[in-house]
Structure 1
Amino acid sequence: MTKFRFYFPDNKDFVDPNFNGRDNSRTKYHRQYDDDHYPHQILAELPYDGMLVSLAGVGTMQKRGKYYEQELTEDFYFNGAREFLRLDTKKFENVKLMGDCGAFDYHNEYEPPFTVDELIEFYDRGGFDYGISLDHIVFPYFKNEAAKDAAAEKCDLHELIAESERRIDITLKNAREFYEKAKGYRFEAYGVAHGYDKSSFLRSVKELQNIGYRRITIGGMIKSKTDELLELLESLSEIREPDTQFHLLGICRFQNIPAYIKAGVTSADSTSPLMQGLKGGKYYSVNSESTSFDESLMIRVRQCDHDNVQKHIDKHRDELRQHITELQANGEFDIDLSNTALSINECIKRLEVDCLKKLQQYDDTGLDLDSTLKALVAYEKVTNENYLPSNLTGAKLAPLKRNEIKYREFLNAREWRQCTCGICKGGLMNIVFRSNQSNRRRGIHNLAIVTKHKNQMLESINLVTK
């Protein structure tokens, strides 16, 4: 039976389970981590097959991690990864734990800031299922000689390749040491393959297999184009031993899973679904009629009291007053702001309240879509600097028109009302592009969707191969 595991990298991506987007209420005396829930706790179904935790993020007992406060680092080492991540119940017993050194977080340093012994201690005390060897990331990847020639015009190619070779040597040296020292520990060892072209990647994989590795991660390809990645994997599959399994570090373009499997890739990790929701405003939904999932643009309603909006108001106060007067004269919103005693702040706050009220009513009833969109676009025009009369051009107006069409499509489809992920049951205001809590919830929803899509894809593959 064909399997493919999706790992989600840990970066303290938890949310307050009691958040309510309608009134922005939260847990009283809220304490991050203690009160918040991880994606697997708040969703109805498992949003990933495993979690990946990096030493650079957690740190050691002597070296501060990038993401963990010292108290959390101590708790992690004392309790172990499974208890710390709240995966220590029967419901999550099949969720695997993978650890790595977090090379991306120290890519600007001359050498890795950790030792192999520190990495092994991290895996051992964390109770990981899989541990990845200590590497030093190599970023440039040249698809062919033409790509190298193009790079040579912008930088010293000889110097760039020499530095890449140095990092590959460090990675392979550490892999040899790690392979020997990891023997006898409960975690299974992965070696890391890096390269700046096909030849160097092939050399790395061959060397790792000669050392004895049969689990190998492919690193440094996060910036690569899809065709470059697939072409590399096809080449690597030709020298792969029958029992060697590949893992893609930091990249998982889910539509390519069949090609990954064919090349011997059995797992991958990525934060992309969450980040596309959190920062990109994307809302995913499963398309049962295609081999992919759909991406909708989530409606954006900026927080009027947020510092960014307040700075915008202070900077354009005079123009905003005239702008709001013209919008009202053109009938572009439904509330009455003709009272000249109202401050600009109060006018924009009332536009925000009107927009939120209509969105909530539409969420409840599915009625008055046109008036809801009208309020939404009006609020966007007064809170987005691009749409002020002094800045507005045809090029800037086009995105607003496109977004209005996308907003209409999203609201009309009401996908969140049919979603069973566990996040969307809280309603539109819990996933709208607005606050950190709602934005992160939307990203967590996306994790559930890509995993559902991945599982459906695997079912189709297994049916074909029966």
Structure 2
Amino acid sequence: MTKFRFYFPDNKDFVDPNFDGRSNNRTKYHRQYDDDHYPHQILAELPYDGMLVSLAGVGTMQKRGKYYDQELTEDFYFSGARKFLRLDSSEYERIRLMGDCGAFDYHNEYEPPFTVDELIEFYDRGGFDYGISLDHIVFPYFKDEEAKDVAAEKCDLHELIAESERRIDITLKNAKEFYVKSQNYQFEAYGVAHGYDKNSFIRSVKELQEIGYRRITIGGMIKSKTDELLELLECLNRIRESDTQFHLLGICRFENIPAYINAGVTSADSTSPLMQGLKAGKYYSVNPNSIRFSESLMIRVRQYDHDNVQKHIDKYRDELRQYISELQDNNGFDIDLSSAALSVNECVKRLEIDCLKKLQQYDETGLDLDVTLKALIAYERVTNENYLPSKSTESKQTQLKRNEDKYHQFLLAREWRQCTCGICKGGLMNIIFRSNQSNRRRGIHNLAIVTKHKNNVLKSINPAAK
């Protein structure tokens, strides 16, 4: 049966399980790691097939990691990855653990800051199922000679290729040492293939297979276009041994899963679903009739007491006073802010309260959509400088209207009310584009959706699969 595993990279993406967006309540005396939950703990269904943890993120006992402080690093090495990530109960036994060196985090350094022995110690003490060899990332990728000619007009192409070759040599040298030494440990070894064009990638894969690797990661393609990636995989598939499996490092465009499988790719890792929710305000939903999942623009309500909003008010105080008065006269909102005794801050705060109140009422009842949307857009107008009279342009107003239409579609569909991920049951205020807790929850919801979508795709390829 065809399999394809999605791995989620660990960047301490956990949330407070007691957060309630309606009341803004959260755990009292909150301690981040001790009190928070990982995505697999807070969701009703497993949101990934595995987790990927990087040495650069965790660090060693002597070298500070990017994401872990010293106490957490010590806990990780003492407990092992599965217990530290709270994957040590039977309900998570299907989740695989993959480790890598985290080359993206040190891409500006001349050489990797770790040794092969340090990496192996990380995998061994962490109890990983799979360990990826020590690499040095290569970013430039040229799909053909024409692309090289274009690059040559902007930079020293010879120097760029020479540096890429140097990094490829470091990666392959480390792969040889890693392969030999890893035979004495429980984890299964992956080699890393890097390249700046098809031929250099082909050379890397061939050499890794000659070393003995039958698990190979394709690295450095995170910035590539989809057609470039698929074309490269097609080329690599031609020289792939029948039992060699590819893993895509840091990239998983889920609509391409059938093409990946045809090219021998059996797994990939990506933080994109979470980041698209966390920072871009995207809300995913399953579309059973499409190779893609659906994306909606989550409604945004900025926090009045956030530093950015307070600076905005201070900067445009006089204009805001006049603008709020104009909106009042033109029926731009439904509350009374006409009293001269009200400060600009009080007016903005009351608009926020009105907006949140109507969103919660709509969430609970499904009634008065137009009234809710009116309050939402009024608050957006006064908290986003792009829509102030002095800053507004025709294109900006067009964008506001476009967003208003998307908000209308999202609210009308009420998809969060049908979602069974485990987060959306908390209501709209738990996934709204607003606070770190709600934004991260929306991203975690997206993880559940892409995994459900991935499983649907696999079922379509394997109709008999359960």
Distance 2:372 2:111 in 1: 55
1:136 partner amino acid: H
The answer on 1:370 being equivalent to 2:354 is no
Distance 2:79 2:464 in 1: 44
Counterpart for residue 4 of structure 2: 4
Q: Is the 8 A contact 2:53 2:99 kept in 1?
A: yes
Counterpart for residue 134 of structure 2: 134
Report matched runs for 1:19-418 at 5 Å. 19-418=19-418
1:465 positional shift: 10
3-state SS of 1:33 partner: helix
Distance 1:193 1:42 in 2: 35
Distance 1:463 1:156 in 2: 52
Mark the CA change 1:92 to 1:293 in structure 2 (over 3 Å): closer, same or farther. same
3-state SS of 1:217 partner: strand
CA offsets 1:104-159 (integer angstroms, 9 cap, x no match): 00000000000000000000000000000000000000000000000000000000
1:277 partner amino acid: G
3-state SS of 1:378 partner: helix
3-state SS of 2:35 partner: coil
1:5 positional shift: 0.2
2:304 partner amino acid: C
1:393 partner amino acid: T
CA offsets 1:365-384 (integer angstroms, 9 cap, x no match): 00000000000000000000
1:288 positional shift: 1.6
3-state SS of 2:299 partner: coil
CA offsets 1:439-465 (integer angstroms, 9 cap, x no match): 000000000000000000000101289
Runs ≥4 residues deviating over 3 A: none
Q: Is the 8 A contact 2:459 2:465 kept in 1?
A: no
The answer on 1:456 being equivalent to 2:456 is yes
2:25 partner amino acid: S
1:289 partner amino acid: N
5+ residue gaps, structure 2, are none
Distance 1:294 1:122 in 2: 38
Distance 1:11 1:289 in 2: 33
1:235 positional shift: 0.1
3-state SS of 2:400 partner: helix
Distance 2:464 2:282 in 1: 32
1:69 positional shift: 0.7
CA offsets 1:387-433 (integer angstroms, 9 cap, x no match): 00001110111110000000000000000000000000000000000
2:221 partner amino acid: M
1:292 positional shift: 1.4
Distance 1:399 1:86 in 2: 43
Distance 1:138 1:287 in 2: 36
Q: Is the 8 A contact 2:387 2:396 kept in 1?
A: yes
1:92 partner amino acid: Y
Counterpart for residue 447 of structure 2: 447
3-state SS of 2:97 partner: strand
Distance 2:89 2:464 in 1: 35
Q: Is the 8 A contact 2:288 2:456 kept in 1?
A: no
1:252 positional shift: 0.2
Distance 1:287 1:267 in 2: 22
3-state SS of 2:463 partner: helix
CA offsets 1:145-179 (integer angstroms, 9 cap, x no match): 00000000000000000000000000000000000
Distance 2:465 2:66 in 1: 44
Distance 1:314 1:58 in 2: 41
Matched residues, percent identical? 85
Report matched runs for 1:428-443 at 5 Å. 428-443=428-443
2:425 partner amino acid: K
1:353 partner amino acid: I
Distance 1:139 1:289 in 2: 36
1:289 positional shift: 1.8
1:462 partner amino acid: N
Distance 2:464 2:130 in 1: 30
Moved more, 283-292 or 425-434: 283-292
Distance 2:465 2:412 in 1: 39
Distance 1:369 1:116 in 2: 59
Moved more, 287-296 or 219-228: 287-296
Distance 1:464 1:404 in 2: 43
1:426 partner amino acid: G
2:211 partner amino acid: I
Distance 1:253 1:26 in 2: 34
Distance 2:436 2:391 in 1: 28
1:265 partner amino acid: V
1:277 positional shift: 0.2
1:315 partner amino acid: K
Distance 2:217 2:288 in 1: 32
5+ residue gaps, structure 1, are none
Distance 1:354 1:453 in 2: 37
3-state SS of 2:177 partner: helix
3-state SS of 1:34 partner: helix
1:291 positional shift: 1.8
Distance 2:282 2:40 in 1: 20
Report matched runs for 1:420-435 at 5 Å. 420-435=420-435
3-state SS of 1:463 partner: coil
1:327 positional shift: 0.4
| TM-score normalised by structure 2 residue count | 0.99
Distance 2:352 2:23 in 1: 13
3-state SS of 2:94 partner: coil
